[in-house]
Amino acid sequence: MLSGSPVDGLPRCCDGSVRTALRQSTLVDGPLPLVLLVASLLFAAVVLVYVVLDRTPDWGLLGFAAVVEALTLVLLVVAAVQVGGVDLSGGRLVTLFGYLVAGLVLLPLGFVWSLAERSRGATAVLMVAGLAQAFVVVRVMQVWPS
């Protein structure tokens, strides 16, 4: 019979190694932050092309930013679900979620700025927001215990 264990919610049929592997498996340590990091850097590179060509942000760039935002939101939800299974002592828990929430705010603020001013410099601000997004992902990967 597969009834849940009162300690960790895993089926009683699982031996110790399977239980340990299930507790240690994490998407925050896996490919998700790497995909988000690459997407953020690629976004910044595309915005750099816009700056060089003296173009203002358009719907395509907004869609790309939406994909990066969606990935950041997924990472935030995954981290919130998996945070109980890791040791985030001290201020690391607040730091982790502070970075994740900041990551959700960076690109929208950059877009508001770049759409309000409509200049090459304002578009460059959006590039800086993309680079800052990549930095936030790197910091999340450093704060999350491996």
pLDDT at 28 over 90: no
Q: What is the CA radius of gyration of the chain?
A: 19
Rounded CA gap, 144 and 125, in Å?
28
Comparing 138 with 14, the larger pLDDT belongs to 138
The neighbouring-strand residues paired with 11 are 4
Rounded to two decimals, what is the model's pTM? 0.76
Structural tokens at position 22: 């299930």
pLDDT at 6 over 80: no
- 36-57 pLDDT tens trace: 999 999 999 999 999 999 898 8
